[in-house]
């Protein structure tokens, strides 16, 4: 019985491979010709009949061949024993391309562009999550004797710049004292905790710094309470239009859904651990507009700390091994780059 099940899975795998490659329904004759299964056409036909009865494949009205269903793709993905590794050239290209990023925004933009190119799908990356980000340093730069630039730098590579008018001329010594006081309250704290610490800072500050600190801290609190994890970078949307037939009557719905940031964030919500890949196929997608798509997502970060999610959206007729390998590799490199900043 086990041998029969394995053989039927081999037939399913052949149908998935051929349909993904050619976008044509797959007949038993072509399976026998293209795949060395060691059985007759009659046996393959019988196996296809069972697979169809169990809901793993279906017959389009206009063809004698069969195509995988969402259930068939799910079984195929669940049985992936090995992910097609990226070549050495692909890995070097990823490293070189992402290492050239100048800051967090640039790294994320490059990641999206690279993922879209590698997978020929829509790529999406979520900004690092606020709760897991730690303040590394606050730089205070005098622009004029009465105006400062505040540069907040986090361990994830996030850099925020704000200007603040002090309402009075200050000396270089005062700027140095302000920098020391604010860094003492901020450095090493998670952003989620830093806002509270900054808000309380003017009360305990020396009297001659209190007014200046109030202005600085008001500006900083506005920066710290923003939610960068609600920002995403999207790329490669035009890739979906290459094969309109993969989205019968629903491509417009998919494109409209991708414009809604909340929908895209929900797609990445399943990515909870760095390196752990999640695949949602067709009807498994919660949002009705996305049920003609598959979503391959993964968390990126360092060690066990999740910084954010990234992934690709494409048709259910997808090269799952290649897509999973690309998403995992890019996420791994992004995690390493942000950890080293």
Q: What tens digit of pLDDT does each residue of 46-64 get? A: 999 999 999 999 998 766 7
For 150, other C-beta atoms within 10 Å of its C-beta total 20
Report whether 198 contacts 221 (CB < 8 A).
yes
pLDDT at 230 over 80: no
Whole-number Å distance between alpha carbons of 143 and 310 = 38
Tell me the pLDDT band of 243, cut-offs 50, 70 and 90.
confident
Q: How far is CA 273 from CA 2, 70, 334, in A?
A: 34, 25, 14
Selection from 28, 98, 24, 35 nearest residue 62 by Cα: 24
At residue 58, the pLDDT reads: 94
**pLDDT, tens only, 302-313:** 777 788 889 999
Query: pLDDT exceeding 90 applies to what percent of the chain?
Result: 28
* Lowest-confidence pick of 225-229, 268-272, 289-293: 225-229
Q: Which domains does the chain have, with CATH numbers?
A: 4-78 (1.10.10.10), 88-127+231-340 (3.30.450.40), 134-227 (3.30.390)
Whole-number Å distance between alpha carbons of 183 and 330 = 34
At residue 106, the pLDDT reads: 86
* Lowest-confidence pick of 19-23, 44-48, 55-59, 272-276: 272-276
Residue burial 27-63, b: 16+ Cβ < 10 Å; e: rest: bbebbbeebebeeeeebbebbbeebeeeebbeeeeee
**pLDDT, tens only, 64-121:** 789 999 999 999 999 886 666 777 777 788 888 877 777 778 888 999 999 999 999 9
Tell me the pLDDT band of 132, cut-offs 50, 70 and 90.
low
According to the 3-state scheme, what is the secondary structure of 46-81? HHHHHHHHCCCEECCCCCCCEEECHHHHHHHHHCCC
| Secondary structure element (H or E) that encloses residue 305, with its range | strand 305-315
Whole-number Å distance between alpha carbons of 311 and 323 = 9
pTM of this structure: 0.76
């Amino acid at each position: 019985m086990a041998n029969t099940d394995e053989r039927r899975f081999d037939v399913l795998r052949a149908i998935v491979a051929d349909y993904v490659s050619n976008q044509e329904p797959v007949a038993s004759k072509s399976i026998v010709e293209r795949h060395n299964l060691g059985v007759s056409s009659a046996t393959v036909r019988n196996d296809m009949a069972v697979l169809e009865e169990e809901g793993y494949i279906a017959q389009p009205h206009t063809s004698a061949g069969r195509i995988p269903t969402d259930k068939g793709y799910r079984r195929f993905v669940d049985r992936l024993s090995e992910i097609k590794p990226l070549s050495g050239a692909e890995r070097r290209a990823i490293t070189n391309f992402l290492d050239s990023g100048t800051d967090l925004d640039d790294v994320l933009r490059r990641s999206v562009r690279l993922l879209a190119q590698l997978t020929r799908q829509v790529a999406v990356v979520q900004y690092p999550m606020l709760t897991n980000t730690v303040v590394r340093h606050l730089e205070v730069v005098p622009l004029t004797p009465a105006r400062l630039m505040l540069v907040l730098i986090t361990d994830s590579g996030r850099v925020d710049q704000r200007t603040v008018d002090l309402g009075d001329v200050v000396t270089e010594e005062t700027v140095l004292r302000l920098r020391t006081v604010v860094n003492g309250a901020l450095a090493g704290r998670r952003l989620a905790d830093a806002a509270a610490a900054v808000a309380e800072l003017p009360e305990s500050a020396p009297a001659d710094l209190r007014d200046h600190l109030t202005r600085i801290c008001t500006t900083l609190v506005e920066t710290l309470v923003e939610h960068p994890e609600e920002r995403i970078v999207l790329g490669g949307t035009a890739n979906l239009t290459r094969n309109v037939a993969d989205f019968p009557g629903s491509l417009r719905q998919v494109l409209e859904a991708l414009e809604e940031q909340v929908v895209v964030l929900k797609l990445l919500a399943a990515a909870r651990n760095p390196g752990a890949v999640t695949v949602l196929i067709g009807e498994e997608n919660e949002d009705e507009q996305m049920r003609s798509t598959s979503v391959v997502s993964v968390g990126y970060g360092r060690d066990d700390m999740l910084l954010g999610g990234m992934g690709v959206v494409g048709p259910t007729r997808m090269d799952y091994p290649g897509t999973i390998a690309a998403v995992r590799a890019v996420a791994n490199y992004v995690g390493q780059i942000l950890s080293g900043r």
